[in-house]
């Protein structure tokens, strides 16, 4: 079984040079996922000079580890959004997301991008009579949001259903192939792309300056297309980071289900889809088992639960790929897209939940319109500075109580182990040495990797992620390698290393 996403095998490797000079552009974009690359395309196409700085490789963040579904509804359900806001808001959400899917299709057709894009139905399925009322509520909200929706008593799945909500004309693609191909078309057309160019500090002002290790970019506008914006911002108090798991399996029969299929299950749903690879192999993907980042021990077991779920419903032959990734839920369930405040030249795009291939595209559309001075019909709905404390309150209190609990958990500090000698190969544990908190990982060759356990973002203590072999911050979702390098999340600085001589 491969421990990576199924998309990677079908996407061309990208080879953009790192930034090694100082540049001056109209717009600097941090992050080369679907948000950053789409924004790069739209802005360069409109005549702006653009630089995209990507820490890893294009599509190497969450975009390349998603499930490649594009749909107008939302993970949190439209009827819940309607109850928090109103019918106009869900109308805007459905219309803006439909426009973003069309944007993806236009780009694909315009550049003849080969990424298995196809229109397909979306289904929300209930397996029990109990869940049928949830389905009915979502159906009603879909109609009020202007979507053409249907209720069926059958669906193309090999298990019993009580009802299914169906929306035609949604879409699926290989997200990694898409962003990598789009990047090749925009490179050099007013847009310069740099890989392995991590932004290590940001100076906001007029102009803004982004620094990487070997060069800087001075820009009138900067876009944080990093999934969670970098540095300390008020918006981090409004975001809940969640990790989720995916399996890609082969079936004994050739009966792979068509379309995007979400099956209601408490407390969340499972999402399945079929992917046909370039070599013609079919895979059934399943996504689920979400939990707060850094707050689940023994998280390898999430894959076992996913597999058990699949095996009770499909005739599974083998599991071929598995991967995990994270997303960020917004306090009021609407993403934060746009300038930090009405006069700011710093733009953010975050809080997409697991709906961000569409929201990321929409963010690129809204932000590029804002920069170009074009009126966008949806910019107000998603503005980061919108004030709706009542709508935000529920999850804001829950997420911040959760963050606060993470801080309290460490007072007084309880390290996982007292001595590093008790850590066996493959294991990561926290340890206290001379009053300081460390994260210690012993690799398979018994070498110890010792770094500070204090997150460089807001000083929470990181926890071991046994599945991804990383140190994850349970407060705002920053993740670090065993040697302390930032992988993702709001942190900018790495966790400092500690000498491993004379340890307890
Ligand atoms: C398991 C899973 C499945 C999902 N499936 C779907 C789906 O089917 N449909 C859907 O709509 N959404 C889905 N989502 C959500 C969606 O994948 C994300 O919301 C979306 O990919 C976010 O795109 P992005 O470009 O904003 O961020 P990313 O793709 O994460 O890109 C951000 C980039 O910024 C780079 N970066 C970070 N820090 C720096 C730095 N300091 N300097 C330079 N670069 C930096 C990263 O390396 C990364 O490449 C899923 C999410 C998960 C977790």
Residues 264 and 317 occupy one common structural domain = yes
Assess if residue 218 is contained within a domain. yes
The residue whose C-alpha atom lies closest to atom 26 belonging to ligand 1 is 227
Q: Report d(CA 150, CA 144) in Å as an integer.
A: 13
Integer distance in angstroms from the first to the last C-alpha of the chain? 38
Q: Report d(CA 499, CA 504) in Å as an integer.
A: 12
The residue whose C-alpha atom lies closest to atom 38 belonging to ligand 1 is 226
Helix or strand run (H / E) with residue 87: helix 87-111
Q: What pLDDT was estimated at residue 108?
A: 98
Q: Which residues contact 414 (CB under 8 A, 6 or more apart)?
A: none
Residues 123 and 229 occupy one common structural domain = no
Residue pair 478/489 in contact by the 8 Å Cβ criterion: yes
Residues 293 and 267 occupy one common structural domain = yes
Pocket test for ligand 1, best of 11, 36, 56, 66 (most atoms within 8 A of CB): 66
Q: Which residues contact 468 (CB under 8 A, 6 or more apart)?
A: 324, 479
Assess if residue 94 is contained within a domain. no
Token pair of 102 as six digits = 């069309």
Q: Which CATH number covers residue 247?
A: 3.30.9.10
Question: Which single residue is written with the structure tokens 């071991």?
Answer: 464
Assess if residue 443 is contained within a domain. yes
The 3-state DSSP class for residue 181 equals helix
Q: Which CATH number covers residue 444?
A: 2.102.10.10
Per-position pLDDT tens, the chain of length 504: 999 999 988 998 999 999 999 999 999 999 999 999 999 999 999 999 999 999 999 999 999 999 999 999 999 999 999 999 999 999 999 999 999 999 999 999 999 999 999 999 999 999 998 889 999 999 999 999 999 999 999 999 999 999 999 999 999 999 999 999 999 999 999 999 999 999 999 999 989 999 999 999 999 999 999 999 999 888 988 899 999 999 999 999 989 999 999 999 877 889 999 999 999 999 999 999 999 999 888 899 999 999 999 999 999 999 999 999 999 999 899 999 999 999 999 999 999 999 999 999 999 999 999 999 999 999 999 999 886 655 666 666 666 667 666 656 665 677 888 889 999 999 999 999 888 899 999 999 999 999 999 999 999 999 999 999 999 999 999 999 999 999 999 999 999 998 766 666
Question: Which single residue is written with the structure tokens 């409109």?
Answer: 46
Assess if residue 406 is contained within a domain. no
Give the chain's domain count: 3
Q: Report d(CA 300, CA 465) in Å as an integer.
A: 9
Q: How far is the CA of 130 from the centre of ligand 1 (A)?
A: 34
Pick from 291, 322, 317: nearest CA to 304? 322
The residue whose C-alpha atom lies closest to atom 48 belonging to ligand 1 is 61
Q: What residues does ligand 1 touch, defined as CB less than 6 Å away?
A: 30-36, 53-56, 60-63, 65-69, 198-199, 225-227, 230, 244, 246, 287, 325-327, 349, 352, 354-358, 360, 488
Residues 284 and 296 occupy one common structural domain = yes
b (16+ CB within 10 A) / e for 421-458: eebeeeebbbbbbeeebbbbbbeeeeebbbbbbbbbbb
Residues 153 and 252 occupy one common structural domain = yes
The residue whose C-alpha atom lies closest to atom 34 belonging to ligand 1 is 31
The residue whose C-alpha atom lies closest to atom 14 belonging to ligand 1 is 354
Q: How far is the CA of 418 from the centre of ligand 1 (A)?
A: 37
pTM (two decimals): 0.95
Residues 127 and 154 occupy one common structural domain = yes
CA 411 centroid distance within chain: 31
The residue whose C-alpha atom lies closest to atom 2 belonging to ligand 1 is 66
Residues 233 and 252 occupy one common structural domain = no
Assess if residue 101 is contained within a domain. no
Q: Which of 275, 293, 327 is the last residue of a domain?
A: 327
Question: Which single residue is written with the structure tokens 């071929």?
Answer: 320
Residue-range definition of the domain harbouring residue 58: 8-65+177-237+333-391
Assess if residue 343 is contained within a domain. yes
Question: Residue 246's beta-bridge partner residues?
Answer: 287, 323
Residues 252 and 375 occupy one common structural domain = no
Assess if residue 499 is contained within a domain. no
Pick from 263, 317, 252, 310: nearest CA to 285? 310
Q: Which of 274, 304, 327 is the last residue of a domain?
A: 327
Pick from 316, 318, 262: nearest CA to 288? 262
Residue pair 81/395 in contact by the 8 Å Cβ criterion: no
Residues 470 and 455 occupy one common structural domain = yes
Residue 29 is given by DSSP the state E
Residues 188 and 45 occupy one common structural domain = yes
CA 166 centroid distance within chain: 25
Q: How far is the CA of 352 from the centre of ligand 1 (A)?
A: 9
Residues 278 and 195 occupy one common structural domain = no
Looking from the CA of residue 356, the nearest atom of ligand 1 is: 19
Residues 222 and 260 occupy one common structural domain = no
Q: How far is the CA of 228 from the centre of ligand 1 (A)?
A: 9
Assess if residue 322 is contained within a domain. yes
Q: Which CATH number covers residue 199?
A: 3.50.50.60
């Amino acid at each position: 079984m491969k421990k990576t996403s199924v998309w990677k095998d079908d996407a061309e490797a990208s080879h953009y040079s790192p930034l090694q000079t100082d540049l001056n552009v109209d717009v600097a974009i941090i992050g080369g996922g679907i948000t950053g690359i789409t924004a790069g395309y739209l802005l360069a196409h409109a005549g702006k000079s653009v630089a995209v700085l990507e820490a890893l490789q294009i599509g190497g963040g969450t975009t390349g580890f998603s499930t490649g579904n594009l749909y107008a509804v939302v993970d949190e359900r439209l009827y819940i959004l309607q109850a928090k806001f109103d019918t106009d808001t869900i109308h805007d959400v459905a219309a803006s997301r439909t426009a973003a899917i069309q944007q993806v299709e236009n780009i694909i057709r315009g550049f003849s991008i080969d990424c298995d894009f196809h229109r397909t139905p979306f289904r929300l399925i209930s397996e029990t009579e109990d869940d049928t009322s949830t389905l009915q509520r979502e159906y009603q909200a879909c109609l009020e949001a202007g979507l053409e929706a249907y209720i069926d008593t059958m669906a193309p799945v090999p298990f019993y259903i009580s009802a299914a909500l169906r929306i035609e004309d949604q879409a699926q693609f290989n997200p990694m192939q898409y962003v990598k191909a789009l990047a090749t078309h925009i490179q050099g057309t007013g847009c310069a792309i740099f890989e392995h160019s991590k932004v290590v500090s940001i100076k906001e002002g007029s102009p803004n300056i982004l620094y990487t290790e070997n060069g800087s970019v001075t820009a009138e506008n900067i876009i944080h297309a990093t999934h969670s914006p970098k540095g300390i911002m008020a918006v981090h108090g409004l975001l809940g980071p969640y990790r989720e798991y995916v399996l890609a399996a082969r079936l004994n029969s050739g009966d792979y289900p068509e379309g995007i299929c979400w099956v209601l299950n408490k407390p969340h749903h499972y999402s399945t889809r079929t992917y046909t690879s370039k070599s013609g192999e079919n895979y059934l993907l399943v996504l689920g088992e979400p939990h707060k980042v850094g707050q689940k021990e023994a998280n390898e077991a999430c894959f076992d639960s996913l597999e058990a779920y699949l095996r009770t419903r499909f005739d599974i032959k083998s599991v071929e790929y598995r991967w995990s990734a994270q997303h960020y839920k917004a306090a009021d369930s609407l993403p934060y897209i746009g300038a930090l405040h009405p006069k700011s030249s710093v733009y953010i795009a975050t809080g997409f939940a697991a709906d961000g291939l569409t929201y990321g595209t929409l963010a690129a559309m809204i932000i590029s319109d804002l920069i170009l001075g074009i009126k966008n019909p949806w910019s107000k709905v998603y503005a980061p500075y919108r004030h709706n404390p009542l709508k935000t309150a529920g999850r804001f209190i829950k997420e911040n109580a959760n963050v606060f609990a993470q801080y309290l958990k460490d007072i007084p500090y309880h390290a996982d182990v007292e001595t590093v000698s008790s850590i066996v190969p493959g294991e990561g544990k926290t340890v206290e040495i001379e009053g300081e908190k460390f994260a210690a990982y012993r690799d398979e060759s018994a070498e110890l990797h010792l770094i500070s356990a204090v997150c460089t973002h807001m000083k929470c203590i990181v926890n071991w992620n046994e599945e991804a072999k990383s140190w994850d911050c349970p407060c705002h979702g920053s993740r670090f390698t065993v040697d302390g390098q930032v992988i993702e999340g709001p942190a900018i600085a790495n966790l400092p290393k500690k000498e491993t001589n004379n340890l307890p």
